[in-house]
Amino acid sequence: MQNQNSTATATAPPQQQPNNHFPSSLSNAILFNLRDHKPKPTLLLYTFLAISLFSLTLILSLSLSSSSSTPHSGPDPFLYPTRRLIFDKSTPSPPSIAYLISGSRGDSGRILRLLSATYHPLNHYLLHLDPSAPHADRERVALMVQSNPIFAAAKNVHVMGKPDFAYAKGSSPLSLNLHAASILLRLSVGWDWFVSLGADAYPLVTQDDLLHILSFLPKDMNFVNHSSYIGWKEARKLKPIIVDPGLYLSEGTEMFYATQKRELPSAYRLFTGSSFSILSRSFMEFCLLGADNFPRILLMYFANTPSSLSNYFPTVLCNSRQFNRTVINQNLLYGIYDNHRNDLRPLNSTDFDGMVRSGAAFAQKFQKDDPVLDLIDQKILCRSPGSVVPGGWCLGEPGNSSCLTWGDAKILRPSTGSQRLEQAIVQLLSNGTFLSHQCMYE
C-alpha cells in the first residue's frame, strides 16, 4: 500500500494479531490450501467450505486452549513438517473490493458519505455522478477526494470525469456498470470483487468485517439473486421492447416503448434478479474481456429490454458452464419490497433491528440523511461524522482522527458485524440448500 511509505506510518506496532477473530492457524491452513490450489468450485468444495466455516469456532477454541500452553510462535515445524510453508503465508491475505458508487443530481453529499462509510485502503473506488448533475458537483467531489489526506495517500479513490446516463428502468445502468468495471480492471490488478452501490445504499458491516469474511471464501464466488421462474407477471415485464434514451440522446427524455412485444428467448434461459450483486473479478473479466461471445450477445439482447441490470448478470452466470457453479442465490443486501410500487421502500429507524438481525452486508434504500444512517454510523460502524470508518489500519487515538495515523492496511480488526455476516454465510452454505437454489430451472 502506498500509505506505508507515507511519513504518517506509525511507529507503534499494531497491538492485535491480524484476523484475530475466528481464524486459527489450523483453520487458516485448511482454507489457505483450498484457496491456494484454485480449485474448481464444485459440490465438494462448497460442502467442505461450509463445514470449515461451520467448525471455525470449534477449531478456534481448540487451538486457543492448546496454544496457551505452548509458546506462541506457530506450529512446531517438526510436528507439522508439511504445514510449515503454509503457516508462513497462512493468515489469509485480505481480499480487495472494487466499488462503483453512483448517484444523480443532488447526490454528491451522499456519495461522499457512502465512500467514508465503505472506505478501506485496500479497496478501490470509482465515483460517478450521472449527467443530470452539474459538472461543478463532479469537480467538487474530485476536490474533496483530493484534499483528503487518507484518500490521497492510498490513491484508491477516482471520480469519473465523463459521466454516463443511467435510467433505472432502461438498459443504460448496465452500460454504466460495465464501463465502471472495465475502468476498475485497468486501474488495478489487485481487486477480487466488484460491487456497485447506488447513492441510496449503505453498509451494515465495516469493511474490516466484510474483507475478513471474504478472505475465507473462494475468490470466484458470486453473490447474485436469481430465478428462472417466469410467470405472467415477469413475462409482462420482460416482453416489452424499450429504447433507452441514455444510449443515444445527449439529453434525458422519456423511455421509448415499442407497441409490439417479443417472445422470450429460446436460445438460452432467462434469469431474473436484482440490480445489486457482488461479482467476482474472474466473472467481470469474462463479461468484458472474454473470448466467449455469449456476454456480448446477451448485451445486445438486453439493450432494449427493461431493467437490464437486474437480469443481465444472473443470465450470463447461469448460462455459462464456467460460472454456473459459482453462484450463491443471495446478494447480501437487505431491502424491503413495497409491493404496491414494485420497488424497494425506504428504510428508517424502525427497520434498524431487522437490518442488524439479517446479517446482510449492505442495505438499500435510504432517504438522504435519514436518522437511521446516523444510528448505523454510531452503533455499527463507529464512524464519526466526516471521517472514515476506523479499521485495523487506523492507529491513532480513538476519536475523529484515529485514521490519520495509519499502519499496515492488511491488518483487519473485525467487529461483531463479522460474526453476523459469518453466521449468515454459514447458514447459506451449511445445509446444502444453496446448491438446490443455484441456477435452478423452474
Binding mask 417-436 for ligand NAG (x = CB under 6 A): ----------xx--x-x---
**If residue 285 lies in a helix (H) or strand (E), which one and from where to where?**
helix 281-289
Tell me the three cell numbers of residue 238.
420482460
**For residues 335-354, which are near ligand NAG according to CB under 6 A?**
335, 345, 348-350
**377 phi and psi, to 5 degrees?**
-55, -45
Q: Is the distance from CB of 156 to CB of 420 less than 8 angstroms?
A: no
At position 406, the amino acid (one-letter code) is W
CB of 410 to ligand NAG, least distance (A): 27
Exposed, middle or buried: residue 6 (CB in 10 Å: 0-12, 13-18, 19+)? middle
Nearer to ligand NAG, 416 or 431 (CB): 431
439 binds ligand NAG (CB under 6 A): yes
Tell me the three cell numbers of residue 154.
492510498
Q: Is the distance from CB of 345 to CB of 336 less than 8 angstroms?
A: yes
**For residues 207-236, which are near ligand NAG according to CB under 6 A?**
225
User: Which segments of 204-332 are extended strands (E)?
Assistant: 222-227, 240-243, 256-261, 272-280, 327-328
Helix%, strand%, coil% for the chain, nearest 5? 40, 15, 45
Contact residue for ligand NAG among 253, 399, 436, 442 (CB under 6 A) = 399
400 binds ligand NAG (CB under 6 A): yes
4 binds ligand NAG (CB under 6 A): no
CB of 185 to ligand NAG, least distance (A): 25
Terminal Cα distance for the chain, rounded = 47
Task: Single out the segment in contact with ligand NAG by CB under 6 A; choices: 20-28, 135-143, 378-386, 388-396.
Answer: 378-386
378 binds ligand NAG (CB under 6 A): no
Cα–Cα distance for residue pair 74/17, rounded to 1 Å: 13
Residue 406 DSSP one-character state: B
Cα–Cα distance for residue pair 98/190, rounded to 1 Å: 9
CB of 247 to ligand NAG, least distance (A): 25
Q: Helix (H, G, I), strand (E, B), or coil: what is residue 283?
A: helix
By CB under 6 A, how many residues form the interface with ligand NAG?
23
Cell numbers 504445514 correspond to 83
Contacts of 155 (CB under 8 A, 6+ apart): 2
Cα–Cα distance for residue pair 309/179, rounded to 1 Å: 13
CB of 83 to ligand NAG, least distance (A): 33
Contact residue for ligand NAG among 308, 330, 415, 418 (CB under 6 A) = 330
CB of 181 to ligand NAG, least distance (A): 20
324 binds ligand NAG (CB under 6 A): yes
Task: Single out the segment in contact with ligand NAG by CB under 6 A; choices: 154-162, 195-203, 259-267, 322-330.
Answer: 322-330
CB of 333 to ligand NAG, least distance (A): 6
Nearer to ligand NAG, 177 or 330 (CB): 330
331 binds ligand NAG (CB under 6 A): yes
Binding mask 22-61 for ligand NAG (x = CB under 6 A): ----------------------------------------
Nearer to ligand NAG, 339 or 350 (CB): 350
Contacts of 5 (CB under 8 A, 6+ apart): none
Nearer to ligand NAG, 13 or 386 (CB): 386
The DSSP annotation for 319-377 comes to: T-TTTTTSEES--SEE--EETTTTEEPPB-GGGHHHHHHHT-SEEE-B-TT-HHHHHHI
CB of 316 to ligand NAG, least distance (A): 13
Chain contacts with ligand NAG (rule: CB under 6 A): 225, 274, 321, 324, 329-331, 335, 345, 348-350, 384-386, 399-400, 427-428, 431, 433, 438-439
